[in-house]
Amino acid sequence: MTSTIGGGASGVPERKIRVLVAKPGLDGHDRGAKVIASAFRDAGFEVIYTGLHQTPEMIVAAAVQEDVDVVAMSVLSGAHMTLFPRVQELLAQAGADHVLLTGGGIIPEEDVRALEARGVGKLFGPGTPTTTAIAYIRDWFAASQKAS
């Protein structure tokens, strides 16, 4: 399955799903972010990786500049209850609240529920198969295209 829209008999050029993989805060452990970025690329997504130590402002600026569909953050520092809401708020302020904010890391289940209740997308913990995140983004993207 490709990760594009358009194309085919309609003559509309295909567009890949654009995902910004971000590593916010002071956490220097980026192996997981690199693994998921590579898996997303292998699945046909267009991936922009921000690198380490990004502020929420830097993440949103990159998301807007790159016109992404998805921001996927990797948070292992314990600051998820600050970082996800801040990025969500900044996306809304930038007129990019249509962008899916998702991610993963070491996030307690009660915090996952609280973040998802405030509109953050599905959050994935350690050991989640990359195919699960890929399928989630594909399904979200297909639904968002039908709604628009």
Residue 117 maps to a domain:
yes
pLDDT digits (tens, 9 = 90+) for 35-82: 999 999 999 999 999 999 999 999 999 999 999 999 999 999 999 999
- Is this prediction's pTM over 0.85? yes
- What is the CATH classification number for the domain harbouring 27? 3.40.50.280
Residue 11 maps to a domain:
no
Q: Are strands 70-75 and 18-22 parallel, antiparallel or unpaired?
A: parallel
Residue 10 maps to a domain:
no
- Checking if the pLDDT of 3 tops 60, the result is no
Domain of 38 in residue numbering reads as: 16-143
Domain count, the chain: 1
Task: Indicate the pLDDT class of residue 118, thresholds 50, 70 and 90.
Answer: very high
% of the chain residues with pLDDT over 90 = 84
The amino acid occupying position 25 is G
